[in-house]
Amino acid sequence: MRAPTPCGWTVTGLDVSRVAVDRARAAAAAAGVEITWLVEGFGERPLGPFDLVSAQYPAVPKRGDDAAVRAFADAVTPGGRLVFVHHELDETPHGFDPADYVMPEDVVTYLTGQGWQIETNEIRERHLERGAGSGHSRDRMVVARRGA
């Protein structure tokens, strides 16, 4: 059994990018935090259940049905929370069609009426002068609690 982090959490992190996972692994090691890391896309296999699933700017393609969103919901234990954050995209072309990917509004639509309480569904301003994500100044944050 793995040791929990200093805050008491047992953490699993994943990303499709080996580079991202290697960077995160190095940061966790520098902080003295033990995390299980997976290099894979979310929903490629069942994961969880977890007390908290935090999806930060995920690039998860829709599959023509609700399967991708359902994978997020299914990963949360009863009474647990899903935090889903993504850039609030304007009408400017972004080199991809946001409708092809799971976005916060898809999460809210799917969870509504499924025994979840939407605790937060709002746009939050953020200010980054440089670095990854600096081209975006608004994020949509959804926090939902699964019924027990």
* pLDDT tens digit sequence for 74-96: 999 999 999 999 988 766 555 77
Pull the structure tokens for residue 71.
Answer: 């994978």
Rounded to an integer, what distance in angstroms lies between the CA atom of residue 54 and that of residue 90? 23
Would you say residue 64 has pLDDT above 90? no
pTM of the model: 0.83
What's the chain's average pLDDT? 86
Rounded to an integer, what distance in angstroms lies between the CA atom of residue 95 and that of residue 142? 24
CB atoms within 10 A of CB 9: 13
